[in-house]
Amino acid sequence: MVSGTRILVVDDSEQSRRNSADVLKTQGYTVHTARDGKWAWGLLCRSWIAYDLVLTDLMMPKMDGIELLSKIRADSPWIRVVIVTANPDPEVRSRAMKLGAFAVISKPCDMEQLKGTVKSALVK
């Protein structure tokens, strides 16, 4: 179900954040954005909105994607998390998956891969 599905896009790059949000909106998702992990965590804790998925960059100031993922897993384990990273280090990817990320995709994002990954994450 796409209608009513809420996604939070977290990235310190305004361009990346906007591009991902725009693509997901064209798919019918309700999309909100946050400029870093700390901002996103505040939204998740204080908002009346129940998010279905968080799409987050890995490397950000204030709170990175791994710390955000850990907090989400501890507080709201039903929220799916997809990590986006330009870091090719397999250990970083492995750590994210062990912490409960649904997927880790490469940045810059291939928009078809992004759409497919988000769709798959929301089906499970």
Does position 77 have pLDDT exceeding 70, yes or no? yes
With 0-12 / 13-18 / 19 or more C-beta atoms within 10 angstroms meaning exposed / middle / buried, residue 78 is exposed
Does position 94 have pLDDT exceeding 80, yes or no? yes
pLDDT at 3: 63
Question: What is the pLDDT of the chain when averaged over all its residues?
Answer: 93
Rounded to whole angstroms, how far apart are CA atoms 124 and 58? 23
Question: Given pLDDT bands bounded at 50, 70 and 90, which one contains residue 5?
Answer: very high
- Percentage of the chain exceeding pLDDT 70: 97
Rounded to whole angstroms, how far apart are CA atoms 14 and 113? 20
Structural domain boundaries of the chain? 6-123
pLDDT at 2: 66
- Asked whether 85 and 57 are in contact (CB, 8 A), the reply is yes
Q: What is the pTM of this model?
A: 0.93
pLDDT in tens, 16-48: 999 999 999 999 999 999 999 999 999 999 877
pLDDT at 124: 62
Architecture of the domain defined by 6-123: 3-Layer(aba) Sandwich (3.40)
Those residues with Cβ within 8 angstroms of residue 47's Cβ, 6 or more apart along the chain or in another chain: none
Rounded to whole angstroms, how far apart are CA atoms 97 and 14? 26
pLDDT at 38: 96
Residues β-bridged to residue 54: 8, 81
